A and B are shown apart, each in its own frame.
Chain A
Amino acid sequence: MDNLFILLLIPVLGALVLAFVQQAKAARQLALLVSLVSLGLTIPFLVQFVPDASMQFEQRFAWIPSLGIHFHIGIDGISLPLVLLTNGLIPLIILSAFNYDYKGGFYALVLFMQAGLLLVFTALDAFAFYVGWEVALIPIYFICALWGGENRIRVNIKFFIYTFFGSLLMLVAIIYLHMQVPTEDYELTSFYQLGLDASTQRWIFWAFFIAFAIKMPIFPFHTWQPDTYTEAPTAGTMLLAAIMLKMGVYGVIRWLIPIAPLGTAAYGQLALVLCVIGVVYASVIAFKQGDIKRLIAYSSIAHVGLIGAGIFAWNVQGLQGAIIQMINHGISVVGLFFVADILIRRLDTRDMAAMGGIAKPAPVLAILFLTIVMGAIGLPITNGFIGEFLLLMGIYQYGIWYAALGGLTIILGAVYLLRMYQKVMLGEVNTQTAVFTDIRGTEWVVLAVVVVLIIGIGVYPKPLLDLSEAAVTDLINKVGLIR
């Protein structure tokens, strides 16, 4: 049961069936079943994975032979955590949507997107990577635009054109690289061995970087993000923040830096500075937000900025931190957005000024929410701590000032997240919040799983780190340090 192709196929098949299910209840149960099957099928990969630097479970079929395109997929220590993240979070996201009456079409889009995401994280052929990249985009556009808020049409067309433009630039770079490959294929390994001259690598860097920076998003390519996150339905926001932005991060690690190391040497510092600016900038703006969803959206920019900085520092600690922090951020952000969704659904407002004192009528929610906030801030024994610690260590090796500025994320993050918690949960109850009912049913399940993961990874992160360590070290050795 370690056939990677089948793992990618299951969500597609599920989506095809679900597209025809009209009944809301049947649709969500079937969707949950399919996502759990996907998760279950991930376990053999985890068990049989040998934690070394090699590519495993590889599969390669001819796709368009006359153009040198293959459907080539495989898993190594860098992609396995992300495959786990995707297949682990999709059931949670589907569960979190149980409170809405979505029909089969909604879940079909979610599962279709899952297939695209998995393809991105496992693709070893640039064409397959690009296809996955776009296939993940179409469903999320429809999810956000069909079930989103008032401004959804304008906001989402901006989002789509923005990301599509970036990905087209990447496509140009991919085709260009293919032209240089002597064996006329799109293989990742062929791209690695190109050794282009520095001036070519410089524009290749930008073509890839803009695509990934828009997706992550890195300052100043982030302007689509807060609006899109706010207007999207919560399940859509979770998909975007928890999994989709990792496509950009993964792209930087897997494609951008190893293919254009000289380009990264020229502009990596600039990219790192942009990331750090994003951290501070987003934190400051997050502090000023009154809208709870927008606040979390900006906090996401800040966290991703730190991850990006850790990658561009390009050392083992930074990269390890980035990988584990991608997982942590995914888990935390699902928790945060889900709590926000619970609040918004019950109180019918996103404005934090209208909330307050909810800890009194809903003590269970208060405790779970506090844990999630702690995880997002990065307190010890939560998952965020180990990630941010490694990231800052990596950035410190690159330059102490970057680390000092990037470290602000912990302090600023604590400020705005605790302020959010205080405004929402503590203080006086008003007429609305006095009758707030505590979490129940699926809400309880989702938040409990999130909290268990936060504490679990926080206490014992070693298995997760072991997965990627060999692959990360090998990648850094192959590419060499970048200064």
Chain B
Amino acid sequence: MSAIITLSLLAILVLYLGLFKARNALLPVSLLGLVTTLVMYAVQWGIDANPLYSGMVLFDHFAVAFSVLCVLLTALVLLLSKDYFDKASPHVAEYYALILFSLTGAVLVVSFHNLAMLFIGIEIMSVALYILAGIRKKDFASNEAALKYFLMGAFSTGFLLFGIALLYGASGSFDLAAIKQYVVSNPHAISPLFYAGILLLIVGLAFKVGAAPFHFWTPDVYDGAPILVTVFMATVVKTAAFAGFLRLFYFCFVPLQDFWMPVLLVMTIITLFIGNITAIVQQSVKRMLAYSSISHAGYLLFAIVAIGPASGESVLFYAGAYSLSTIIAFGALILVKRATGSEHFEAFNGLAKRNPYLSLAIVIAMLSLAGIPLTAGFIGKFMMFSGVLADYQILLVVLAVINAAMGIFYYFRVIVAMYFRPIDRDQVVVSSQYKAVFLLAALITLLLGVYPAWLTGLI
């Protein structure tokens, strides 16, 4: 709990730092605050957790592991932003503060033990994001993204809230334990309201994770928002939303699996195909990554379709691997766009000759996204496939295999551009923070790919 308080206070502190024009202090203070938060979480690890504050939050291993992941990813995103937002906006402090507020929401989403808390967490996370998406006030695309995200987000929140209300109506409680008790004790007399509530929750949560057919906002918002905000949405927010999704379903709805599993199965298949097929035809790397994030939402849904004790670990691993690669990919895109003014695949042409190490990091990221062995992405996919096969969903896995092969096509386009289409170009300047982030992310991706044992068995 102290971690959440620290995070909230940190965000307010950063906001006030902006008021006093202490621009250079923003990044160190934010990072210091995040490290403090990490230490607090680390202390909480291994303690036999009970629900706190009238059962509002529960810091079990699941919650702590995902919180730590979110905080780490945010730290990486912030490291990238020193160079980015100082140039993009005069109000840098707002940006830092909003990201930290959003992170506070995210850690609530992964540690809730009460549906009210889930709702509050999602709102804290989202409201900050609505502003972040439109933080470039003069930019048309950024405004469009913010408006779209806000309208669609508000709409889906309505569904979520309605679902929660129906669950309350049927079970008489917002508390997860009480809802679970209701499901377990009345296996044959569950109110139809309850079923309708589950469906509405699926709609609301699917929107937040960007799963088809509720994904329509994703490409435009990812494309229009400033790249770093997109990175934050695609990594921290997605991870948190999936963790919340899984937490709710694993805690409460496992006995009703026969009811909701087919729905999610169909959604998973649609998500995979829409994400991958549309990604193939993109000309802009940013949009390609947006659609690839949809397809990865599809793979992540595997863990919920084949829900079980191993699901948490699979999502943690997959989301971590995916997020690290995404940070590299978008970070490189920022640099390339700054150098060439373009987000197209052609902008990467001949990069390998001038920036061999940057290109190598991008290759590792792309291989990880594509799920090639010796990268973390492969282990993630492997865990997902294992989980689903244990559930005997062979058809789903075969479809997923077809999609994984499609993924090669667009991830390798970046590699092909960098290495096999040599043109004369200037060296892309990489600042030291960017170098640190790329090095760290690439190394972790490889380490987890070669020896994943030190991260398995956590949850």
Contact = CB atoms under 8 A, between A and B. Distances in A.
A318 to B, nearest CB: 32
Given A64-B456, A145-B416, A172-B397, A135 B373 contact: yes
B345 to A, nearest CB: 12
Contacts of B404: 164, 168
Contact of A157 (B373, B401, B416): B416
Contacts of B408: 157, 160-161, 164
A46 interface: no
Given A135-B373, A172-B398, A179-B390, A62 B453 contact: yes
Contacts of B420: 145-146, 152-153
B46 interface: no
A312 to B, nearest CB: 25
A428 interface: no
The size class of the interface chain A forms with chain B is 20 to 34
Given A134-B373, A135-B374, A171 B385 contact: yes
Given A64-B453, A131-B374, A175 B389 contact: yes
Given A62-B453, A65-B453, A157-B409, A131 B419 contact: no
B42 interface: no
Contacts of A65: 453, 456-457
A120 B402 CA distance: 24
Interface in B439-454: 451-453
B405 A66 contact: no
B409 A161 contact: yes
A146 B422 CA distance: 10
Interface in A142-182: 142, 145-146, 152-153, 157, 160-161, 164-165, 168-169, 171-172, 175-176, 178-179
Q: Which of A62, A152, A153, A171 has the most CB of B within 10 A?
A: A171
B232 to A, nearest CB: 31
Contact of B389 (A63, A165, A179): A179
Contacts of A146: 419-420
Interface string B59-76: 000000000000000000
B367 interface: yes
A76 to B, nearest CB: 24
Contacts of B412: 157, 160
A138 B419 contact: no
A219 interface: no
A3 to B, nearest CB: 19
Contacts, number: 77
Tell me whether chain A's interface is mostly helix, strand or loop, or mixed: helix
B386 A67 contact: yes
A163 to B, nearest CB: 10
Interface string A66-85: 11000000000000000000
B428 interface: no
Nearest to B313: A66
A175 B386 contact: yes
Contacts of B382: 171, 175
Contacts of A165: 401-402, 405
A153 B367 CA distance: 17
B338 to A, nearest CB: 27
B394 interface: yes
Nearest to A63: B453
A138 B451 contact: no
Contacts of A62: 453
Nearest to B403: A168
Q: How large is the interface on B (under 10, 10 to 19, 20 to 34, 35 or more residues)?
A: 20 to 34
A175 B453 contact: no
Given A165-B405, A169-B401, A176-B389, A145 B419 contact: yes
B374 A172 contact: no
A130 interface: yes
B108 to A, nearest CB: 29
Contacts of A145: 416, 419-420
Contacts of B402: 165
Interface string B342-372: 0000000000000000000000000100001
Contacts of A168: 401, 404-405
Contacts of A164: 404-405, 408
Nearest to B413: A157
A138 B398 CA distance: 23
Contacts of A169: 398, 401
Interface in B406-421: 408-409, 412, 416, 419-421
A186 to B, nearest CB: 11
Contacts of B419: 142, 145-146
A336 to B, nearest CB: 27
A157 B379 CA distance: 23
A142 to B, nearest CB: 7
B452 to A, nearest CB: 5
B167 to A, nearest CB: 34
B372 A138 contact: yes
A175 B384 CA distance: 11
Nearest to B454: A64
A212 B453 CA distance: 29
A178 B387 CA distance: 12
A384 to B, nearest CB: 35
A66 B316 CA distance: 15
A98 B272 CA distance: 46
Nearest to A19: B360
Interface string B376-395: 00110011011001100010
A8 to B, nearest CB: 13
A110 B452 CA distance: 26
A242 to B, nearest CB: 23
Contacts of B373: 130-131, 134-135
Interface centre among B374, B401, B402 (most CB of A within 10 A): B401
B417 to A, nearest CB: 10
Interface string A39-78: 0000000000000000000000011111100000000000
A63 B405 contact: no
Contacts of A157: 408-409, 412, 416
Contacts of A130: 373
Contact of B394 (A134, A142, A152, A176): A176
Contacts of B453: 62-66
A389 to B, nearest CB: 39
Nearest to A177: B389
23 contacts: A63-B451, A63-B453, A65-B457, A66-B457, A130-B373, A131-B374, A134-B378, A138-B372, A145-B420, A146-B420, A153-B416, A157-B408, A161-B405, A164-B404, A164-B405, A169-B401, A171-B382, A171-B385, A171-B401, A172-B389, A176-B394, A179-B386, A179-B390
Interface of A: 62-67, 130-131, 134-135, 138, 142, 145-146, 152-153, 157, 160-161, 164-165, 168-169, 171-172, 175-176, 178-179
Among all A-B residue pairs, the 7 with the closest Cβ atoms: A165-B405, A168-B401, A134-B373, A66-B457, A66-B456, A131-B373, A175-B389
